[in-house]
């Protein structure tokens, strides 16, 4: 996680934000409580990809030069180009009341081999 993310999230809370929900990192990141407010630095991908109708579209992005230095590809997830942790995700839940956010929780999730998000159960 980059230093600027913490600085920016804290500045948003200091400016009045009640909750921060980060995304786009393709992998889950830290969760922090700052001044009593929850910060999810990255929820990851709720739904990432699927097999494509055209064989050319279903080629891995690095076949075209993208992510050329990436080496941690998971063989069980050939269309998930962001490494093993990209199959992990979080589903955040916030309850809002008259005074703002009254509670925050989350459910851990896993993108299955058909690229569908599944809530993990105890013991998973």
- Taking Cα atoms as reference points, which of 42, 31, 39 lies closest to residue 88? 42
**What does the pLDDT look like over 69-85, one tens digit per residue?**
455 667 787 777 677 88
Average pLDDT score over residue span 103-114 = 92
Using CA atoms, how far residue 73 sits from 17, 62, 67, in Å, is 37, 10, 11
**What does the pLDDT look like over 10-39, one tens digit per residue?**
999 999 999 999 987 888 999 999 999 999
Q: Say whether pTM exceeds 0.85.
A: no
Query: What whole-number distance in Å separates Cα of residue 20 and Cα of residue 49?
Result: 25
Query: What whole-number distance in Å separates Cα of residue 3 and Cα of residue 48?
Result: 26
């Amino acid at each position: 996680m980059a230093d600027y993310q913490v600085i920016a999230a804290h500045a948003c809370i200091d400016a009045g934000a009640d909750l921060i929900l980060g995304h786009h990192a393709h992998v889950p990141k830290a969760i922090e409580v700052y001044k009593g407010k929850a910060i999810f630095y990255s929820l990851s991908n709720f739904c990432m990809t699927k097999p494509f109708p055209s064989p050319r579209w279903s080629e891995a992005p690095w076949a075209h030069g993208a992510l050329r230095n990436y080496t941690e590809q998971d063989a069980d997830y050939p269309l998930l180009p962001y490494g093993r942790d990209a199959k992990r995700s979080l589903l955040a839940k916030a309850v809002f009341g008259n005074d703002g956010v009254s509670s925050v929780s989350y459910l851990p999730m896993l993108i299955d081999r058909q690229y569908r998000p599944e809530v993990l159960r105890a013991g998973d």
